[in-house]
């Protein structure tokens, strides 16, 4: 089990790195999907199968399809790849590297002091427990999220309406 | 490790069975289509034309495995594998009998939905990687279609989940001991059937590969065994959706006298025949009709089904 955990984490970390360094936008998106799948396996092994499945259905299965869809429609060519490779100059790496290194050091520090050794905080979360918590103490969060989604939906519908048919 | 070893024969058996069946299904479909259109269909090679499948397979393996020079090679090769892998993975949670199930997950139904949402990538990536305008159009249509129909495919199944109180497919079958869910969940069943047709991209929903307008849609540039994988993937998808209909709405392995596995395959076989009959009987929809139908008819119906089922469950078992 521990071996599977580290393997899945390794896949997630490596593919996330490749998301940043790939020059081709679709390849980067594919690596991002692999990274989500790796994270889903990690969730599964930590004893949260419900979260793992939602990770695949929502992130890997729905949101990323939309991303791929948009990138497909943009039809990025060789020009975009050249632009990307210009953006990935060593000079550009400095700022993000410092920020990420800070976070990494902080994470290692926390691990070292055993604060995060109880990763089992999400152990054994069956679908029922998750729903009880979600619609109990965190109900307001769920409601706020749904309120946020509704204006998005209405807005998208407004932008996408067919003016020609309305005039007729 | 011992548990893994005890699962291996089941995994091997399930894999062999579904792959063989999907090959046989190609023959079955051609024979049934022939029967319904008052002609013979393939009947020359072997008894009843059964060896036609073998002949076709030998032919397709001998074909040149061609990757167009303008294609994105890596993605082009991965795309057909994605559909086979995701569909075969879904079979892992299907309970064929009380004892024959590869992975008895407590989120089995969600696993099936996750795999079916991942299978959309195969078509989308094939369309993009081919670098061909017909393929791209097919890929775009496929991604829009599969995204829209996944939404209420999931919603239509939540009624079943509410009545059972579990995502485990074995529990769902057990809960149908007295009454198959096709009766209380008749609306859910119809919605799932339509969504399943759209997910497998069968007529009347085969718009991503509409031959009349898009050559062959997303698999225009594919040949040889890569095309074969899309083809087999489609038939595996039909078996999967039929098996899921059986499990979710028609009592799975349950039935009198006959052994459970026989009941399971009889029911599944009937739904496979229904899929082929629909292909023989219906014309192809137009793309805007497909989207309008999905979002303006099926989604509200699925939501109504969800709300009514929820209300009835609450009346039947008020929370303490």
Looking at beta carbons, which residues of chain A come within 8 Å of B139? 72
Q: Which pLDDT tens digit goes with each residue over B259-315? A: 888 888 888 889 998 888 888 888 877 778 888 888 888 889 999 998 998 888 888
Domain membership flag for residue B25: no
Residue B143 lies in a domain: yes
The C-alpha angle with vertex B266 and arms to B264 and B271, in degrees rounded to 5, equals 95
Contact check, Cβ <8 Å, B117/A33: no
**Torsion sign over Cα B84, B5, A53, B250:** positive
**Which range among A94-103, A110-119, B40-49, B203-212 has the greatest average pLDDT?**
A94-103
In a domain, B89, yes or no: yes
- Residue A148: the pLDDT is 93
Q: Is residue B45 part of a domain?
A: no
Shortest Cα distance, chain A CAs vs residue B132, angstroms: 11
- Token representation of residue A110: 């926390």
CB contact under 8 A, A27 and B75: yes
Gap between the Cα atoms of A98 and A3, Å rounded: 30
pLDDT tier, A144 (very low <50, low <70, confident <90, very high otherwise): very high
Express each pLDDT in B132-170 by its tens digit: 888 888 888 888 888 888 888 888 888 888 888 888 888
The answer to whether residue B283 sits within a structural domain is yes
CA distance B248 to B192: 10
Q: Which of residues 235-254 of B touch A (CB under 8 A)?
A: none
**A63: nearest CA in chain B?**
B147
pLDDT in tens, B78-96: 888 888 889 988 888 888 8
Asked if A133 is an interface residue toward chain B (Cβ–Cβ < 8 A), one would say no
Flag whether residue B128 sits within 8 Å of chain A, measured between CB atoms: yes
| B150/A62 CB distance under 8 A | yes
Domains annotated on chain A, with CATH: 2-165 (1.20.120)
**B150 with A66: Cβ contact below 8 A:** no
Which domain does B115 fall in, by range? 67-316
> In angstroms, how far is CA B111 from the centroid of its own chain?
14
A63 touches chain B (CB under 8 A): no
Q: Which of B110, B118, B124 sits opposite A60 (nearest CB)?
A: B118
Q: Specify whether the CB–CB gap between B67 and B76 falls below 8 A.
A: yes
In Å, what is the CA distance from B138 to each residue of B10, B141, B151, B211, B213?
A: 37, 5, 20, 10, 10
**DSSP letters of B57-125?**
HHHHHHS-----TTS-HHHHHHHHHHHHHHHHHHGGG--SSSS--S---TTHHHHHHHHHHHTHHHHHH
pTM: 0.84
Total residues found in chain B within this entry: 320
- Give the count of domains, chain B: 1
Of B41, B9, B81, B2, nearest to B280 (Cα)? B41
Would you call B105 and A60 a contact, using CB atoms and an 8 Å cutoff? Answer: no
Residues of chain B contacting A60 with CB distance shorter than 8 Å? 114, 117-118
- Which residue in the set B118, B139, B140 is minimally distant from A61, CB to CB? B118
Give the pair of three-digit tokens for residue B276: 């082929």
Q: Give the pLDDT of residue A116.
A: 53
**pLDDT digits 0-9 by tens, B289-302:** 888 888 888 889 99
Nearest to B260 by CA among B13, B95, B105: B95
- Residue B54 within any structural domain of the chain: no
Rounded to a whole number, what is the distance in Å from the CA of A25 to chain B's nearest CA?
A: 12
The ipTM assigned to this model is 0.81
B65 within 8 A of B226, measured Cβ to Cβ: yes
Whole-number Å distance between alpha carbons of B45 and A13: 53
Q: Is residue B269 part of a domain?
A: yes
Cα B103 versus chain centre, distance:
19
Report the C-alpha gap between B133 and B154 in whole angstroms. 32
Q: Mind telling me how many Å the CA of A130 is from chain B's nearest CA?
A: 12
A50–B125 C-beta distance less than 8 A: no
């Amino acid at each position: 089990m521990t071996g599977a955990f580290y393997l899945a984490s390794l896949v997630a970390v490596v593919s996330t790195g490749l998301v940043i360094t790939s020059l081709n936008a679709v390849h980067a998106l594919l690596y991002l999907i692999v990274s989500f799948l790796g994270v889903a396996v990690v969730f599964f092994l930590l004893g949260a199968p419900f979260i793992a499945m939602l990770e695949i259905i929502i992130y890997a299965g729905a949101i990323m399809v939309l991303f791929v869809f948009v990138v497909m429609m943009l039809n990025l060519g060789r020009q975009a790849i050249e632009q990307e490779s210009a953006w990935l100059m060593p000079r550009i790496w400095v700022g993000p590297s410092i920020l990420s290194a800070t976070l990494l050091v902080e994470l290692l520090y926390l691990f070292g002091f055993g604060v995060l050794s109880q990763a089992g905080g999400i152990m054994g979360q069956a679908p029922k427990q998750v729903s009880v918590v979600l619609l109990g103490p965190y109900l307001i969060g769920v409601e706020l999220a749904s309120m946020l989604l509704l204006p998005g939906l209405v807005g998208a519908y407004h932008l996408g309406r067919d003016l020609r048919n309305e005039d007729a | 490790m011992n548990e893994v070893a005890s699962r291996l024969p089941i995994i091997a058996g399930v894999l062999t069975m579904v792959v063989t069946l999907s090959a046989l299904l190609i023959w079955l479909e051609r024979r049934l289509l022939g029967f319904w259109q008052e002609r013979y269909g393939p009947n020359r090679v072997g008894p009843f034309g059964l060896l036609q499948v073998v002949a076709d397979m030998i032919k397709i393996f001998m074909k040149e495995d061609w990757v167009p020079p303008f294609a994105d090679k890596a993605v082009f090769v991965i795309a057909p594998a994605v559909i086979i892998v995701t569909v075969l993975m879904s079979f892992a949670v299907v309970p064929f009998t009380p004892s024959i199930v590869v992975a008895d997950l407590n989120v089995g139904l969600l696993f099936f939905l996750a795999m079916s949402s991942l299978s959309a990538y195969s078509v989308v990536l094939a369309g993009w990687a081919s670098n061909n305008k017909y393929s791209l159009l097919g890929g775009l249509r496929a991604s829009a279609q599969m995204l829209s129909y996944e939404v209420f495919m999931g919603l239509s199944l939540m009624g079943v989940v509410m009545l059972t109180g579990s995502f485990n497919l074995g529990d769902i079958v057990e809960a149908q001991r007295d009454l198959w869910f096709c009766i209380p969940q008749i609306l859910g069943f119809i919605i799932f059937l339509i969504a399943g047709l759209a997910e497998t991209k069968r007529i009347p929903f085969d718009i991503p590969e509409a031959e009349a307008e898009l050559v062959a849609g997303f698999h225009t540039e594919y040949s040889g065994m890569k095309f074969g994988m899309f083809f087999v993937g489609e038939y595996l998808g039909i078996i999967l959706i039929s098996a899921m209909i059986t499990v979710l709405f028609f009592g799975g392995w349950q039935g009198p006298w006959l052994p459970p596995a026989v009941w399971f395959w009889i029911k599944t076989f009937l739904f496979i025949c229904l899929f082929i009959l629909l292909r023989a009987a219906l014309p192809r929809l137009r793309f805007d009709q497909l989207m309008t139908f999905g979002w303006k008819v099926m989604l509200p119906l699925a939501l109504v089904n969800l709300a009514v089922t929820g209300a009835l469950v609450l009346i039947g078992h008020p929370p303490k």
